[in-house]
Structure 1
Amino acid sequence: MTQHSTEISVTACHSALADLFAGLVVACAQLSVSDGDSLRLQLLAEELFINTVDHGFSGKTGAPVHLRLTRDKRGLTLHYEDTALAFDPRQPPPATDDNTIGGLGLALLQGMSQEIGYRRDGNRNIIELLLQETAD
């Protein structure tokens, strides 16, 4: 299978989440990604994006966030890049209990991804999530 990809850029602010979703829907359609896999990608992108805005930029807005969706013989890869504080999604999820709010995002990313890649390049976080495509 030949590798195909598409790119999306949005501003790091909560109001840009709709544009991020719209871009992913178009990208998934261009790459003939199933509806179920498209929804999984949206959920993962939302988790990364909201964490970028809320924690990586501490609510400050305006910086660009770049996504690229690639489809090849290994599956779907969501390439996510921002200039927020360093964040490695491969770290162990924090211990939670019934009274803990939040902290489930890492478990979600790790549980839904076949592989997670991370590197810090200068001031940029570069995260790659590989998803095995489902047959639906």
Structure 2
Amino acid sequence: MRKNSVESHQFEIENQLAEISRIAVMLDAFAVYWRWTEKFKHDVNLAVEEVVSNIIMYAYTDTLEHHIKLNFEQDETRLQITIRDDGKHYDWLQNNKKVDVNVPVEEREIGGLGIHLLKNIMDEVNYRREENLNVVTLIKKI
């Protein structure tokens, strides 16, 4: 990568859980191309999988085919991932539910763990609604 350059790659999947395996393959290729460490790749894969699986499972009220768009931009200092979907409006980052990771899984309330995880492995996690699309932005410093 040239100094002060930004490289960008776009990817689109359908709203099917089987599509998540395509994301892992794509991230493996990005990891080689951008020379990510294994930990960096693991964190990015986990974060993207968490967001996309939640979109697929909860954003749509119909059984129609929808497309989820992912954009990856990287420069010398950070990776920015932008995920767009046309599902129902829901700012899941507003879920301020406190997650006690010390409580056994079977005793925990459902919900909130994925957001807790995202906020701990990414440097920034943002949500906005733009032109009838949900837009999630994940940023991880390199």
Aligned residue for 1:107? 116
Question: What is the aligned length?
Answer: 133
From 122, 125, 135, the equivalent of 1:126 is: 135
Provide, for residues 47-98 of structure 1, a one-character-per-residue CA deviation record: whole Å limited to 9, x for no partner: 0011001111258352111111111133111111111122335324424563
Aligned residue for 1:85? 88
* Equivalent residue runs for 1:51-62 within 5 Å: 51-58=54-61, 60=63, 62=65
Name which one, 1 or 2, has greater alpha-carbon Rg: 2
Please give the TM-score of this superposition, normalised by the length of structure 1: 0.84
- Give the percent of matched residue pairs that are identical in Structure 1 and Structure 2: 20
Aligned residue for 1:49? 52
Consecutive unaligned residues of structure 1, counting only runs of 5 or more, are none
Q: 1:35 to 1:61 in 2, by over 3 A?
A: farther
Structure 1 residue 100: deviation in Å? 1.6
Where does structure 1 differ by over 3 angstroms across 4 or more consecutive aligned residues?
58-61
Cα RMSD (Å): 2.0
Q: In structure 2, what is the Cα distance between the partners aligned to 1:92 and 1:55? A: 15
Contact 2:95–2:112 (Cα < 8 Å) also in 1: no
Consecutive unaligned residues of structure 2, counting only runs of 5 or more, are none
Q: In structure 2, what is the Cα distance between the partners aligned to 1:111 and 1:61? A: 33
